[in-house]
Chain A
Amino acid sequence: MEMTRTTEAGLIARILAGEKELFHELIRPYERMVYLTLFSIVRNETEAEDGAQEAVISAYRHLASFRGDAKFSTWLTTIAINEGRKRLRKTKGAVEDSIEEKEESHEGDYTPAPLTDWREIPLEALERKELREALRVAVTELPGIYRQVFTLRDLEELNIEQTAQALGITAGVVKVRLHRARIMLQKHLVPYLKTTAPARRGFFGRAL
């Protein structure tokens, strides 16, 4: 759910004019987004929650500097990203951080994995808890630059432009990273999905 921009602009004006309690209402639709953004960077629940609180407080303290030319959600996401990066630097140290943040190489295999029995998997399979768990793990294990783009775009459902703006990269880079992230996830989850279909047996009864 997202407030219309007019309602939001109205709320912000009233908060700045002194009705500060309304900040609770302003932030409520974005609580989930702030947490997920933090988690995509720090990958630890406690750190993500502490960071989310800091980001929200920081947004409150700096609300007067919010300019209506960006969307409030994008502005808030940028604050959350900065908070996450700050925490990552503190916990991981500069060396690992630079590896995590390095640009994507043009090498690597970003080919999806074929599967022929997907259509035979009942829709109920998507409801399975195990599949959700596998997806959570696969997303958490994506390299940082892909995980962050994927989280903003496909989990928080920002558009390409907003994702680019929040991360400070170009729309073209967002598209490349998003494509690779999606293909990597598809590849990760295919073996898992295959096991939901009846196992095919080879000679001597061994699973193929």
Chain B
Amino acid sequence: MKLECKHVWEHISEYIDGSVDAKLREDIERHLEHCEICSAILDSTRNILILTADDRTFELPVGYSERLHERLARELENPGQDSKKD
């Protein structure tokens, strides 16, 4: 079956996650072979996800971990005494 671009876009997220069935996967791949627009959309979406999962994109506040463990240490020391933060 020949797929239209629009049909490929509707399944792009599931395609990336590998959760489309084998037949649809094959149709999408055949479409991607000759469709530059869809290939570029797929690549860009995939790259955005790679960038998202990269720890440098979403950084934690400096000192977050230290403050968390200090707070936790106080709780372990005096359970329930430290319900309000400093």
* Structural contact, B13 and A154, CB atoms closer than 8 A: no
Q: How far is the CA of A115 from the CA of B40 in the complex (A)?
A: 6
- Min CB–CB distance A130 → chain B (angstroms): 12
Residues of A20-53 at the interface with B, using a CB-CB cut-off of 8 Å, are 20-21, 23-24, 27, 31-32, 35-36, 39, 45, 49-50, 52-53
Q: How far is the CA of A175 from the CA of B85 in the complex (A)?
A: 38
Residues of A35-90 at the interface with B, using a CB-CB cut-off of 8 Å, are 35-36, 39, 45, 49-50, 52-53, 56-57, 60-61
Q: Is A132 an interface residue (CB 8 A)?
A: yes
State how many residues of chain A have any CB contact under 8 Å with chain B. 49
- Min CB–CB distance A201 → chain B (angstroms): 22
Q: Is A116 an interface residue (CB 8 A)?
A: yes
A190-B44 contact given A23-B76, A179-B12, A179-B13, CB 8 Å threshold: yes
Q: Is B1 an interface residue (CB 8 A)?
A: no
- Min CB–CB distance A163 → chain B (angstroms): 11
In the complex, the chain B residue whose C-beta lies closest to that of A36 is B58
* Structural contact, A132 and B40, CB atoms closer than 8 A: no
Pick from A49, A50, A56, A185: contact of B48, CB below 8 A: A185
Pick from B19, B39, B51, B65: contact of A135, CB below 8 A: B51
Q: How far is the CA of A114 from the CA of B58 in the complex (A)?
A: 26
Q: How far is the CA of A182 from the CA of B45 in the complex (A)?
A: 7
Q: How large is the interface on B (under 10, 10 to 19, 20 to 34, 35 or more residues)?
A: 35 or more
Query: Which chain B residues border A32 with CB–CB below 8 Å?
Result: 55, 60
**Could you tell me the dominant secondary structure of chain A's interface residues?**
helix
* Structural contact, B58 and A155, CB atoms closer than 8 A: yes
* Structural contact, A49 and B67, CB atoms closer than 8 A: yes
Query: Which chain B residues border A143 with CB–CB below 8 Å?
Result: none
* Structural contact, B44 and A118, CB atoms closer than 8 A: yes
Pick from A115, A154, A179: contact of B44, CB below 8 A: A115
Query: Which chain A residues border B71 with CB–CB below 8 Å?
Result: 53, 56-57
Q: Is A200 an interface residue (CB 8 A)?
A: no
Q: Please list the residues of chain B having a beta carbon within 8 angstroms of any beta carbon in chain A.
A: 6, 9, 12-14, 16-17, 19, 36-37, 39-41, 43-45, 47-58, 60-61, 64-65, 67-69, 71-73, 75-76, 79-80, 82, 85
Q: Please list the residues of chain A having a beta carbon within 8 angstroms of any beta carbon in chain B.
A: 20-21, 23-24, 27, 31-32, 35-36, 39, 45, 49-50, 52-53, 56-57, 60-61, 111-119, 126, 131-132, 135-136, 139, 150, 154-155, 157, 160, 175, 178-179, 182-183, 185-186, 189-190, 193
